[in-house]
Structure 1
Amino acid sequence: MAEPGSAVAPTGHRPENLPLAALLTTTAFFCVALVGTLAKVSGQYTSTGVLLLFQNSICLLVIAPIALRGRRTSLRTNRIGLHVLRAAMGTACWYALFLAIARIPLANATLLTYSAPLWMPLIAWVVTRRRVPIPTWLGAGIGFLGVLFVLQPQTRTFDVGELIALSGALFLAVAMMSVRWLGATEPTLRILFYYFLLSTLMSIPIAVLDWEPIAGPGYAWLMGLGVAQMLSQALIVVAYRYASAEKVGPFIYSVIVFTALIDWLVWEHTPTASTYVGMALVIGGGLVAVRARRPVA
């Protein structure tokens, strides 16, 4: 997935400018909120599979000429397996999110999907068996409590859309971790090129099996969807030139605030008191987790 906050910093940092980096990153996550909004609108005109294909192919059309105009050797990679993993998890995450927002409020779907950083300590422990610092577990626990406030399992049954969004969070967590692993050796442009190339190829059979004709107004909304996705990635890459990923990463949670506002203003889905509490806990727990020390052996 072209997941927000996961692009790696390009070589050659400029002098640190944290306020500018924060502004760029927050704007990038506003674009991510627009992706969800445009997908919810576009879903009225075609299928989820077609949304996914348009999103990825438009980004590929933008990034491919930039990547191919340089030396072909710049696209050579010895980590194609990780690129495939990242693309598969990203594609699965976006598909899950698009399915979820067609069934539940946009704010709830986004909140549950972007609880992904809370799952990362558990996934890291399962994969590496390295000790995870207690503050990280504490932050994850606070965040999961927030998820329960949103779901309210004690008062009602799970909606299938909520389960789909939670599955998207797991896919996103793996995708984010794969980008971190790729970032050790792969430049940003190569990571983006392979992501959009592979995710476009993966989206084709999904779109074919899930094909629905696109109604006239749908094309404009689909174009907007792809442009918003591309802008989010470009802004993140530029932001990382002015500050490290560790410093701007917490701004990922601004997407939850933006989608809640859009959901309220456009679809009149006023968040409940428990949803507000859940948002605060997820954001607070995420900030605690990402600010904790890195795992030690």
Structure 2
Amino acid sequence: MTTRFETSPARAAAMMVLAMAIIGAIDNVIAPMSAHIGLWQFHFIRSLIALPLVGLMALAGLGALRPRRWGAVTLRSVLVSTAMMFYFGALAFMPIAQALAGLFTSPIFVLLITATLLRGRIGRWRVLAVAAGFTGTVLVLQPDPRAFDAATLIPVAGGFFYALGAIVTRRHCAGEGAPALLAGNLFALGLAGAVGALVLAVLPQPGAQDFVTRGWIWPIRPAMPHILLQAVGSVIAVFLIIRAYQTGEPSRVAVFEYAVMIFGPLFAWLLLGQPLGPWQAVGVLLIATAGAIIAIRSE
């Protein structure tokens, strides 16, 4: 039986903005948490906590948990989980504004892939959006050509894989239930975390204590509040995103996703004291504007 929801643009916008506020807040715990636990262990434990919550979402009638097309859902899960690995890895060593800027290059990559590989047509407005988004990304990341650091591009790699996941979602997973897609993503992240932790246990990196190369840590009491906040908060945020898209016009609702470009840096400033320079603020505005143009012109 298909669940119907009353259309309400204002309610959909409010739910999406609230979801972005939650994400903007909980993603700021990654930096302090990275001092206590590794990336791989974090994803494994977070998935163990979050997957049962996704099961409850399915029981509540928010969609089927079993995929219709296992191959498509598996491919999407691998792509999106790879994007999240890059994004969360970047959060450990760069301000959230920079990590989000890299991740939110995904609409730009979607248009570029659509135009070059899929032979789709894009209009002048979306070409302008690509230019604005690229300019905004450069302003936020502020790469120094005299001292280039490839680590600056890590969140951009996340944006590329997230774009691939979005294309697979649109073309091959349109009929899937949201719990199935979320569970697939969490399972892929948990599996990657388990494999990564196992590899680091067998082949430990001498002296490596950073977020990405740190092996299994026990006990993990200092990190558990952060992991619980991430697991519960992310599931609640995704629940709100699902309901927002169910109760509003998708192309209009998508515009409000860019509120995270405001909430992320705002909470980083309030909680961690991370500053945002004036040119970076302009870059955030350009990225959000580019995303809004792409969403509206994609109707």
Query: Do the aligned residues in 1 keep the contact of 2:55 with 2:179 (CA within 8 Å)?
Result: no
Query: Do the aligned residues in 1 keep the contact of 2:140 with 2:283 (CA within 8 Å)?
Result: yes
Structure-1 residue corresponding to 2:9:
18
Query: How far apart are residue 11 of structure 1 and its match?
Result: 4.5
For 2:46 and 2:107, the matched residues in 1 are separated by: 23
Q: Structure 1 residue 63 and structure 2 residue 54: aligned?
A: yes
Q: Structure 1 residue 275 and structure 2 residue 280: aligned?
A: yes
- Structure 1: which 5+ runs fail to align? 1-9
Query: Do the aligned residues in 1 keep the contact of 2:96 with 2:264 (CA within 8 Å)?
Result: yes
The two structures, once aligned, show a CA RMSD in angstroms of: 2.4
Residue number among 52, 60, 63 corresponding to 2:43 in the alignment: 52
- Report % sequence identity: 23
Please list the CA deviations of residues 45-93 of structure 1 after superposition, one character each: whole Å capped at 9, or x if unmatched: 10011122223232212123554899xx97252x222212211112111
For 1:282 and 1:149, the matched residues in 2 are separated by: 10
Change (3 A) 1:39 1:285: same
For 1:61 and 1:270, the matched residues in 2 are separated by: 37
For 1:69 and 1:284, the matched residues in 2 are separated by: 35
Structure-2 residue corresponding to 1:145:
135
Residue number among 161, 166, 170 corresponding to 1:176 in the alignment: 166
SS in 1 for 2:147: coil
Please list the CA deviations of residues 263-286 of structure 1 after superposition, one character each: whole Å capped at 9, or x if unmatched: 212222211121011111111122
What TM-score do the two structures reach when normalised by structure 2? 0.85
Change (3 A) 1:88 1:216: same
- 1:205 is matched by which residue type in structure 2? V
Q: Structure 1 residue 213 and structure 2 residue 217: aligned?
A: yes
Which range moves more in the overlay, 157-166 or 25-34? 157-166
Structure-1 residue corresponding to 2:88:
98
Q: Structure 1 residue 83 and structure 2 residue 110: aligned?
A: no
Structure-2 residue corresponding to 1:109:
99
- 1:278 is matched by which residue type in structure 2? G
Change (3 A) 1:48 1:250: same
Query: How far apart are residue 175 of structure 1 and its match?
Result: 1.6
Change (3 A) 1:51 1:200: same
Structure-2 residue corresponding to 1:253:
258
Query: How far apart are residue 180 of structure 1 and its match?
Result: 1.9
Q: Structure 1 residue 30 and structure 2 residue 35: aligned?
A: no
- 2:222 is matched by which residue type in structure 1? P
- 2:52 is matched by which residue type in structure 1? L
Change (3 A) 1:282 1:212: same
Query: Do the aligned residues in 2 keep the contact of 1:88 with 1:202 (CA within 8 Å)?
Result: no
What TM-score do the two structures reach when normalised by structure 1? 0.86
Number of matched pairs: 282
Q: Structure 1 residue 204 and structure 2 residue 194: aligned?
A: yes
SS in 1 for 2:83: helix
Residue number among 270, 287, 292 corresponding to 2:292 in the alignment: 287
Query: Do the aligned residues in 2 keep the contact of 1:39 with 1:51 (CA within 8 Å)?
Result: no
For 2:266 and 2:59, the matched residues in 1 are separated by: 39
SS in 2 for 1:131: coil
Structure-2 residue corresponding to 1:4:
none
- Structure 2: which 5+ runs fail to align? 201-214
Structure-2 residue corresponding to 1:132:
122
For 2:84 and 2:67, the matched residues in 1 are separated by: 27
- 2:121 is matched by which residue type in structure 1? R
